[in-house]
Chains A and B, each alone.
Chain A
Amino acid sequence: MPNQADQPAPFWNIQRKEALAFYLCIAPWLIGFILFYLGPVIASLYFSFTEWDLLSPPKFIGMDNYVKIFTRDPLFLQSLKVTLIYTFTYVPLDLVLGLLIALLLNRQIRGIGLFRTIFYLPSVLTGVAYVVMWMWIFNPQVGLINTLLKYVGIQGPRWLLDPKYALWALVLMSVFQVGRSMVIYLAGLQDVPKELHEAASIDGANSWERFWKITLPLLTPSILFNLIFGMIMTFQSFTNVYIATNGGPLDSTLFYVLYLYQKAFAFFEMGYASALAWILFLMVLVLTIIIFRTSGKWVFYRSETD
């Protein structure tokens, strides 16, 4: 401890002063937490029990919004289905591809920096411009993908304009941003001690065995991180679909948050939208807790072996 003064201890002793300093330092966050997190989350729960169009004051209607959502709202079911399909295809793809690319990029070979740059670049370019660019790439007549398909004699689908393909087009578009999870894996790979691999080699393990027995277990924390962040992110997908399809064609890409946005800011059904938001909040919370609970069984922390 710094500053050991031997004066008689006043009320504001070293510990209390330090605690005061701590609370002063974090005060902005604490205030922000109440104003922008805790307050809104509680307010949103309250709104979810009301009917409110912003013009007249909110009217308390109990569970009506929730009852309607679960019993008489086909669009809720559709948006949930779309979001779940997207999450359960995109997240595994992202986890596996990100790992494969990271493994390739973890080799000490010439020019590796350039390759890392290229694979990561699309991840930096999120947002509207990136989506507009991809809408052009998906153009049925002269877009990049169908042009390439034509070279090999395949007549490509109408992608974003076809209800059967639109969602997969959105998955494909996001897969190119695999660099986001790739860098997490790369960071994890740099922490895999070389000695472990060397020792295993001496014991006669081939590279396949070393991957399964050493690299992969040591990467499980990175996998857990990517799994949770990937899931939270996909459940909230909004910009890509708002720009690319706005939910169409035929609601085939009506993502949950897009539906919520339409309810709140196009139809001004604030109470109903708040109920949708809380259902999403609880779903993500429960899924996250389940993943964390089961992670004890498959996530391996290095400190456990030390």
Chain B
Amino acid sequence: MTNSLSKSQPTNWRKMFWDAVVYAMLIVGSLMFLLPLVFALTSSFKTNGQIMEIPPRWIPDPFHWQNYPEALTYIPFGRFMLNTMIIAVGAITGNLLSCTIIAYGFARLKAPGKNFLFMLMLSTMMLVEPVRIIPIYIEFSKLGWVDTFLPMIVPAFFGSPFYIFLLRQFFMGIPQELEDAAFIDGANRLQILWMIIVPNAKPALAAVAIFNFQGVWNDFLYPLVFLHKQTNYTIALGLSFFRSTYSVQWGYLMAASVVALLPMVIIFFLAQKTFIEGISFSGIKG
């Protein structure tokens, strides 16, 4: 190591002082960021009477856990979860299949027009969504896809620019020699993709699946536009409906919100690295 600058006593004190300042700021900041979540969570364990107490109690006394079973049976929450899962599985399958193949093309194969097409694809990431929604609504309603999950699933089979970009960046980091060796052994492109690229790109594929799940779970505009029958609602749409119908029953609303947020919290804790570092391997820094 080149750390030959001997640390003198005063700089050490300075470092300790600054570390203490940083810790203090981080602790205050974290409390600020956690407090809203904690507040919602504790509210979900209060009766409608307890919740309106002034000043509010930070810890519910007694714990009123019944909000959960009551809120979740008031509306067909299980059904909404199932609907959302069906869309998520469909969309993730579509994106993993299509984006892998498309990204392989962009990462490894030479062809005239490739750079232009790649730039074109990147620029669609900047397209404002609302400019597409009306024609897409009309397109899909002509196909009879209103009140089906197809508008949320089928486009995934044609790839999504961000995921293609992310996979392409990752594929470019896989050594070309691995492929060359397989090529000499007589493997064709699809075999190479399946046997060399996919096993080596598991972290990136997992990232796509996770980001896509988050996207589906939180998506609101598409379900709002395309799903009208209550039995077809996704979790986000169901919660929005619940909000406008039971707008004063905050205990129920908080219980339902906590349940709706929970899967994302769990996935986040299981796949923190993907969320926090996923950005860095996609090379997005400008």
Contact = CB atoms under 8 A, between A and B. Distances in A.
Interface in B99-129: 101-102, 104-106, 109-112, 114, 117, 120-121, 124, 126-129
B26 interface: yes
Contacts of B54: 141-142
Interface in B37-71: 37, 39-40, 43, 51-56
A21 B189 contact: yes
A115 B158 CA distance: 38
Contact of B22 (A107, A144, A221): A107
A190 B227 CA distance: 44
A130 B51 CA distance: 19
A19 B112 contact: yes
B278 to A, nearest CB: 8
Interface of A is mostly: helix
A105 B30 CA distance: 11
B128 A236 contact: yes
A99 interface: no
Contacts of B43: 136
B101 A128 contact: no
Contacts of A278: 131
B228 to A, nearest CB: 11
Chain B binding surface, main DSSP class? helix
B19 A257 contact: no
Residue of B128, B239, B243 ringed by the most chain A CB atoms within 10 A: B128
Contacts of B285: 184, 187-188, 191, 221-222, 225
B199 interface: no
A2 B182 CA distance: 10
Contacts of A3: 183-184
Nearest to B181: A2
B128 A132 contact: no
A119 B134 contact: no
B52 A257 contact: no
A62 B277 CA distance: 50
Interface stretch (A39-47, A70-78, A161-169, A209-217): A39-47
Contact of B286 (A47, A118, A224): A224
A121 B25 contact: no
B170 to A, nearest CB: 15
B286 A139 contact: no
B33 A238 contact: no
B36 A176 contact: yes
Nearest to A226: B286
Given A3-B184, A133-B254, A141 B268 contact: no
Interface string A228-249: 1000100110110011000000
Contacts of A129: 235-236, 239, 256-258, 260-261
Nearest to B243: A132
Interface of B: 2, 5, 19, 22-23, 25-26, 29-30, 33-37, 39-40, 43, 51-56, 98, 101-102, 104-106, 109-112, 114, 117, 120-121, 124, 126-139, 155, 157-159, 164, 179-180, 183-184, 189, 214, 217-221, 224-225, 235-237, 239-240, 243, 250, 253-254, 256-258, 260-261, 264-265, 267-269, 272, 275-277, 279-280, 284-286
Interface of A: 2-3, 15, 18-19, 21-26, 28-33, 35-37, 39-41, 43-44, 47, 54, 101, 104-105, 107, 109, 115-122, 124-130, 132-137, 139, 141-142, 144, 147, 150, 176, 183-184, 186-188, 190-191, 195, 198, 201-202, 220-225, 228, 232, 235-236, 238-239, 242-243, 257, 260-261, 264-265, 270, 273-274, 277-278, 280-281, 284, 288, 299, 301
By Cβ-Cβ distance, the 10 closest A-B pairs, closest first, are A221-B286, A32-B158, A25-B105, A127-B218, A40-B135, A22-B111, A19-B111, A129-B260, A22-B109, A43-B135
